[in-house]
A and B are shown apart, each in its own frame.
Chain A
Amino acid sequence: MSGGESLRESAVFNLAGAITMIVDDSPFSLTLTSNALTGFGIRPTYACGTGMEAKKLLTDKPVDLLVVDTDMPDIDGFELVRWLRRSGPNPNAFTPVIMTASHIRRGRVTEARDCGANFVVTKPFSPALLLERILWVARDTRPFLEVGDYLGPDRRFRHTGYEGVERRADMIRKAKGMESLAL
């Protein structure tokens, strides 16, 4: 995934009220991410060592931001996010998700792309990169798409105009509506 914005030092943000969940089987990585978030003024509300524990909490408690490791022994990050996206009417189904990975195995690259996370960050990553991604997913307005097995944010980052004849019914309706308004 690409995208993101460079950070301006003087820009002010307020995520003090965010309910965040970190999921990582490594206690040290949990501490690292928690400490970074605390520095950003974000209180890490839930720190889970297993995907199972996270799943239980995500069923009951509202969460505004999920930071999840990809590689975990019971339910891995990909499986957790795939479940989350399909867990509607659970309001957390649309929660912004950042996945972190020290290394993604070749055979799992497709899963990383298709699990439905808003962003996958591979290490090494600095606090600056993590903050940049958090601010980016906070402003992420991409619609969620359900295509075959995929349910998650639209994976197309750039929408270039289509030059041909419009054949999509919703777009034609929209265009007609605009015309009648113009009349």
Chain B
Amino acid sequence: MTVITHNQRKSRLSEMLDRPGGVSVGTALAQARANLDGLQDQARAIIGDNIAVLLAKPDPNLIEPMRLDLAYSASSQIIDAASPFSMDDLCTAAKGLCDLLDAAPRQGGFDWRIATVHAQAMKLLLALPPEEQAARTAILTNLHEVLRKKLPAADQSAI
């Protein structure tokens, strides 16, 4: 197979990186953290809204692929909102649900109780105070067990 190599010119980004002035990594991270902290309440509200979407009674007119996509999108948005605030347990639970929904047959047959269990678990994780580490671990262990049992063998390498 033919390989054409384009030797990369130095990017403008790399040229400006070492210019005088700038900011230290420590300061940059502290500033970024401060900028993000103001958004934490909004993130929690978005997570709550998407858990509600997962727990809502489904529209009977919604065909299975659309229902799967809707739930997948809600679960992805939970990861988006939880990720910058170190809510790693919520991210793990939402990622597991994404894996299961992605592996679900598009023609139907997905056991929707799995989505409900994940949504309820995420609701609990969101409400639990940070010091309740044992309860968090127990919830995640149970969800991992669901994932191990329900995810097709071919997709098990991801868990």
Please report A residues at the B interface, Cβ cutoff 8 Å.
7-18, 26, 28-29, 31-32, 35-41, 62, 64-65, 71, 94-96, 102-103, 105-106, 123-128, 131, 135, 137-148, 153
Number of contact residues on B: which range applies?
Answer: 35 or more
User: Interface with A: B1-9, B57-65, B111-119, B130-138, which one?
Assistant: B1-9
B24 close to A126 (CB less than 8 A):
no
A131 close to B14 (CB less than 8 A):
no
Q: Nearest Cβ in chain B — how far from A58, in angstroms? A: 15
The chain A residue with its CB closest to the CB of B95 is A103
The chain B residue with its CB closest to the CB of A9 is B26
Contacts of B42 in A (CB 8 A): 28
Q: List 6 A-B contacts (CB under 8 A).
A: A14-B22, A14-B23, A35-B32, A41-B23, A126-B84, A147-B4
Please report B residues at the A interface, Cβ cutoff 8 Å.
1-14, 16-26, 28-36, 38-39, 42-43, 46, 72, 75-77, 79-84, 86-88, 91, 95, 98-99, 102-103, 155
- With contacts A11-B25, A145-B3 taken as known, whether A102 is within 8 angstroms of B102 at the C-beta atoms is no
A142 close to B8 (CB less than 8 A):
yes
The chain B residue with its CB closest to the CB of A108 is B102
Query: Within the complex, which residue of A10, A14, A125, A135 is in contact with B20, where a contact is CB–CB below 8 Å?
Result: A14
Contacts of B155 in A (CB 8 A): 106
Interface of chain B, main secondary structure: helix
Bound Cα distance A123, B91 (Å)? 8
A26 close to B9 (CB less than 8 A):
no
Contacts of B4 in A (CB 8 A): 145-147
Contacts of B12 in A (CB 8 A): 18, 62, 64
Interface of chain A, main secondary structure: loop
Q: Nearest Cβ in chain A — how far from B80, in angstroms? A: 5
* 4 A-B pairs closest in CB distance: A39-B32, A14-B22, A39-B31, A9-B26
A35 close to B36 (CB less than 8 A):
yes
Contacts of B103 in A (CB 8 A): 106
Bound Cα distance A62, B12 (Å)? 10
Query: Within the complex, which residue of B13, B82, B84 is in contact with A18, where a contact is CB–CB below 8 Å?
Result: B13
B31 close to A40 (CB less than 8 A):
yes
Contacts of B80 in A (CB 8 A): 26, 28-29, 32, 102, 123
A38 close to B21 (CB less than 8 A):
no
Query: Within the complex, which residue of B16, B26, B43 is in contact with A17, where a contact is CB–CB below 8 Å?
Result: B16
Q: Nearest Cβ in chain B — how far from A88, in angstroms? A: 9
Query: Within the complex, which residue of B11, B36, B87 is in contact with A138, where a contact is CB–CB below 8 Å?
Result: B11
Knowing that A38-B35, A131-B29 touch, tell me 17 more A-B residue pairs with CB under 8 angstroms.
Answer: A7-B25, A9-B26, A10-B24, A11-B25, A14-B19, A28-B43, A35-B39, A64-B12, A65-B13, A94-B8, A94-B11, A103-B75, A124-B91, A131-B28, A144-B8, A145-B6, A146-B4
